[in-house]
Amino acid sequence: MKIATLSIGDELLFGETVDTNAGHIAAGCFESGMRVVRHLAVGDDEGEITDALQWLASRYDAVIATGGLGPTGDDLTARAAARAFGVRLALNEAALGHLREFFLKRNLPMSPACEKQALLPARAGVIPNPVGTACGFNFMYEGCRFHFLPGVPREMERMLAETVIPAMQKELAGGPALRTRILKVFGHPEVELERMLGDLRLICPDLQLAFCVEFPEVHVKLRISGEPLEADRRLAELAARVRERLGDSLFAEGGETIDTVVARLLREKKATLALAESCTGGLLAKRITDVSGSSAYFLQGMVTYSNEAKTRLLQVPAGLIAGRGAVSAEVARAMAEGVRKSARSKIGLAITGIAGPEGGSDDKPVGTVFIALAASSGTIAREYRFHGDRERIRSIASFAAMDWLRKHLLST
């Protein structure tokens, strides 16, 4: 099935709004064994929308369109669709009933202007909207199945997941499916991963092997099209080969992240954690607490940005800072030990570094970061040299700390 998306709205073309809908639709289709092969965007112009719909109908099997279903004068999608498909606009009783029920349940008056949202192309099927006013609609035209959804992401996402994708999967039942495995790696660039894994294409000629950078991670994507059960079996075999070759640099698969993996390990190991941060300014604590339930293992975090705070809160000796510098292995170790002692946690993790753009020197250039981990087995500090702007250095430093914590928990 050849699938395209159509995003409608001037705000998209003017750069006022980022089109997240197209990406969400593509990801939803992809996860369901289907593939979007084209994205198209047009403004709030009836003629442009009409032309786009007719052009897409001649080239694709299915189109998912978003935007332009609201009650205002610039919401032109239903009218343009009727014009493109050669039918009249008609008051859809199901859509009108939904509108009335929506306002009645909330004890709100319904403006007469809202009835515009119930004017749909004749013979269109209604796509229920469980969280908003505008129903979507579908229409078959010249062999192409069109699905029209609101542009509001929260509404579009529910309707896509609950109605559109299941309907498309039903149409595909019995046919070949696109199956995907995503394996997430830290510490190997794309070129090195190609060298390590490229021969998998020879082992499985119909394998689509791709590498995608999502800084600071690299995602290894394995794709096979075929009978679903057989494709799943072959992907499982290939994924096992990838795991064997990549070892502990492979940190997660599928929807997991470094943060959710660390959270799971902390629970499994019944470990507790305390953090001391300097250059990352609390970013590491944010990663930990972004995962629900982190209060079970995260005891405290301290952002000790100044030297005085490191001494007062973490008991880092002032002489050590004066002699070795705040950005040093010795100070990182003292920070990790200090926060572990203060919180009485099993693990203390600390970061100190130079995120830039100022503050670097010949010995310690911008991007120099020390990370230390303190546990019952002892305290270890490691030096890193990261590159990029301030945001990238802080991001990769927090990620490196999480990855070290992951490996430590796996080894205990």
276-294 pLDDT, tens digit each: 999 999 999 999 999 999 9
Place of tokens 């080239």: 59
Alpha carbon distance 1, 3 (integer Å)? 6
Q: Are 159 and 71 in contact (CB under 8 A)?
A: no
Global pTM exceeds 0.75: yes
CB atoms within 10 A of CB 85: 20
Q: Which of 387, 407, 147, 373 is nearest to 269 (CA)?
A: 407
Can you give the pLDDT at residue 176? 74
CB atoms within 10 A of CB 129: 25
Domain boundaries, the chain: 3-172, 177-253, 258-411
Can you give the pLDDT at residue 31? 83
Can you give the pLDDT at residue 175? 67
Domain 177-253 has CATH 3.40.640.10: no
Low-confidence ranges of the chain (pLDDT < 70): 174-175
For domain 3-172, the CATH class is alpha beta
Can you give the pLDDT at residue 174? 64
Q: Please tell me the CATH code under which domain 258-411 is placed.
A: 3.90.950.20
DSSP strand E in 86-135: where? 89-91, 119-121, 125-127
Alpha carbon distance 409, 271 (integer Å)? 8
Q: Is 67 left (phi over 0), alpha (psi -120 to 50) or beta?
A: left
